[in-house]
Amino acid sequence: MNLYEHQELSIYNSLSKTKEKFEPIHPGAVGMYVCGPTVYSNVHLGNCRTFLSFDLVFRYLKHLGYKVRYVRNITDAGHLENDGESGDDPILKKARLEQLEPMEVVQKYSVDFHNVMRLFNALPPSIEPTATGHIIEQIQIIEKIMEAGFAYEKNGSVYFDVVKFNESNHYGKLSGRQLEDMIANTRELAAQSEKKNPQDFALWKKAETQHIMRWPSPWSDGFPGWHLECTAMSTKYLGTQFDIHGGGMDLKFPHHECEIAQAEACNNESPVNIWMHANMLTLNGKKMAKSTGNSILPHELFSGENDLLNKAFSPTVAKFFMYQAHYRSILDFSKDALEASEKGFYRLIQAYKSLDSLEKSKTSTFDVETWRQGCYDAMNDDFNSPILIAQLFEAAKFINSVKEESATISGEDLQLLHSTLHAFLFDVLGLVDVSEGNEMDTNQLGGTVELLITLRDQARANKDFATSDRIRDQLQDLGIKLKDGKDGTTYSLN
């Protein structure tokens, strides 16, 4: 019997704006798609928060016994600034700036993203498809949308006809907008564009000569629009209707709105049952964003090397800090809040570790079964991790009372408490047992060394040889030897 048959999970659906009882389309199996990173720079902690929010969802669904197919893409082409109106492709821009091939940029930042996710102990998705690997699928979708009469070609580019679509569907239903209002607000822009209407969005863009990431298509040598890749990859791997689609709140409009329009134009049905949106991590009250410089990078947090910090924090503590807020609430980053989380985290881990040494009694003064259901109730209520963590602290308080002999626990209850704490701390929240001074496990060590190798590569690319040599020498002192080869740097333990 699977756990999900005993637990009633409800999820807040951004589309219906209500919490809905979760019932997957195919009983026992869940299809989930989450928009992945655009790999032209290092992910910052804000990006990490969104991906960790969905790691929690993935982990809990798995814990409940569902078979989950989790698809998270890599955007390696087509995500233009200004949504394609006049902007550049940030990957190409970076490639020019760093004198790299665009695919070297993609590789460098994909590797960084994977290293960071591994350090956070996030599970890899089941499929991680790339936009450039699905150009044919994207062209096929454009053809279908054109056949249905919802797109038009102009000078080798193809645009989605939002006005036409809105005659039979509602463009704006996810973000709560009306097309008439959008049109009224953008009237002046219309004349400068080859689009019929400023709200129309690109499905295919003809490439200018300097745009080297280009593919042949029936319309021109060019590249697909950003919104299209997610429709292509989600329907390819999850079908024309699937259970959950997630992303950060800032993707709701226009990205997800456009995804709905494309899929409805193509297949005549709503693609997603539940839309989930994770809220933003802010810094000094403003959205953490690379473009404004208002961001902290994961390795700055793990090393403490940032003016806003006075010490380093481990990835698991940072993750615990994030999960102390609900994924739909804004969370402001501060070192004081992190320090409070760190204390809490160690208190919890200490309590968990002392379970083995607890004295067993005939009876318990704590209702473990009710407490355990309380943990599930928290997660069943739209993945309410702060309430879950409060429950875990309740258990820690009780454990400490047993140690101080002001409470008692039976052997049977002790077992249940142990297994439940283990499941929620490590399987569901995905925390790692790093009590102060604890030795790292090999997984963490590997991730850390790979992160240092990436940092050293960056230092060398910037001709900062003092830093790159320091990383190599100090690792050598710790018994970790780096070896540079033609396929990159590897390491061995002395």
Token pair recorded at residue 257: 């709105």
Asked whether the beta carbons of 248 and 278 are under 8 A apart, the reply is: yes
Whole-angstrom Cα Rg for the chain: 25
Give yes or no for residue 414 binding Zn ion (CB under 5 A): no
| Closest distance to ligand AMP from the beta carbon of 105 (Å) | 13
Question: Length of the chain, please?
Answer: 494
**What is the DSSP code string of 412-429?**
HHHHHHHHHHHIIIIIIS
Binding mask 444-463 for ligand AMP (x = CB under 6 A): --------------------
Q: Give the contacts of 122 (CB within 8 A, at least 6 positions apart).
A: 51, 52, 55, 430
Q: Which is nearer to ligand AMP, 76 or 200 (CB)?
A: 76
Tell whether residue 37 is a contact of ligand AMP (CB under 6 A). yes
Binding window for Zn ion (CB under 5 A); candidates: 153-161, 226-234, 263-271, 353-361:
226-234
In the complex, minimum distance from the CB of residue 35 to Zn ion, in angstroms, rounded to a whole number: 3
**Sequence-separated (6 or more) residues with CB below 8 Å from residue 377:** none
How far is it, in rounded angstroms, from Cα 380 to Cα 231? 29
Residues 6+ apart with CB under 8 A from 319: 52, 120, 121, 429, 430, 431
Given Zn ion, ligand AMP, none, residue 37, with its beta carbon under 5 to 8 Å by kind, binds ligand AMP
Return the residue of 15, 141, 230, 434 that touches Zn ion, per CB under 5 A: 230
H or E stretch at 277 = strand 272-278
- Encoding tokens for residue 464? 């900062």
Q: Which is nearer to ligand AMP, 174 or 368 (CB)?
A: 174
Comparison of 76 and 450: residue with beta carbon closer to ligand AMP: 76
Could you tell me the smallest distance in angstroms from the CB atom of residue 361 to ligand AMP? 46
* Residue 318 Cβ vs ligand AMP, minimum distance, rounded to whole Å: 13
Residue with Cβ nearer ligand AMP (31 or 36) = 36
Rounded to 5 degrees, what are φ and ψ at 71? -110, 125
**Binders of Zn ion in range 30-89 (CB under 5 A):** 35
Are the CB atoms for 79 and 38 separated by under 8 Å?
A: yes
Q: What part of residues 243-262 is at the interface with ligand AMP (CB under 6 A)? A: 247-248, 250-251
How many residues bind to Zn ion according to rule CB under 5 A? 2
Q: CB pairs under 8 A, 24+ apart, for 103-108?
A: 103/76, 105/39, 105/40, 106/39, 106/40, 106/74, 106/76, 106/130, 106/132, 108/457
- In this complex, which beta carbon is closest to Zn ion, that of residue 71 or of residue 389? 71
Instruction: Provide the angle, in degrees to the nearest 10, between the axes of the packed helices 385-403 and 315-323.
Output: 110
Judged by CB, which is closer to ligand AMP: 299, or 472? 299
Q: Which run of H or of E encompasses 315? A: helix 315-323
User: Is residue 164 involved in binding ligand AMP (CB under 6 A)?
Assistant: no
* Helix segments in 189-255, DSSP class H: 226-238
Give residues 262-281 in contact with ligand AMP (rule: CB under 6 A): 280-281
Q: Closest CB to ligand AMP among 38 and 199?
A: 38
Cβ–Cβ < 8 Å for 68, 30: yes
The CA distance from 452 to 436, in Å, is 22
By C-beta, is 46 or 430 nearer to ligand AMP?
A: 46
List CB contacts of 133: < 8 A, sequence separation 6 or more: none
Q: Scanning residues 7 to 36, which ones bind Zn ion (CB under 5 A)? A: 35
3-class DSSP assignment, residue 447: helix
Is 288 a residue that touches ligand AMP (CB under 6 A)?
yes
Residue 287 CB, shortest distance to ligand AMP, in Å, is 5
Which of Zn ion, ligand AMP, none does 448 bind, CB closer than 5 to 8 A by kind? none
- Using the contact rule CB under 5 A, the part of the chain among 155-163, 208-216, 228-236, 382-390 near Zn ion is 228-236
Residue 230 contact among Zn ion, ligand AMP, none, beta carbon within 5 to 8 Å by kind = Zn ion
Question: Pick from ligand AMP, Zn ion, none: which does 233 bind, CB < 5 to 8 A by kind?
Answer: none
Task: List the x/- string, 289-308, binding to ligand AMP by CB under 6 A.
Answer: x-------------------
Does residue 132 bind ligand AMP (CB under 6 A)? Answer: no
What's the burial of 333, exposed, middle or buried (CB within 10 Å: 0-12/13-18/19+)?
A: buried
Residue located via tokens 């665009």: 102
Segment interacting with Zn ion (CB under 5 A) among 140-148, 223-231, 274-282, 294-302: 223-231
- CA 268 to CA 145: how far, in whole Å? 10
Residue type at 470 in one-letter notation: R
Q: Is-contact 207 156, C-beta < 8 A?
A: no
Q: Which does 364 bind (CB under 5 to 8 A by kind): ligand AMP, Zn ion, none?
A: none
Q: Is residue 151 part of the contact set for ligand AMP (CB under 6 A)?
A: no
Per CB under 6 A, 287 contacts ligand AMP: yes
What is the binding site for ligand AMP (CB under 6 A)? Answer: 35, 37-38, 46-47, 49-50, 247-248, 250-251, 280-281, 287-289
- Interface contacts to Zn ion, rule CB under 5 A: 35, 230
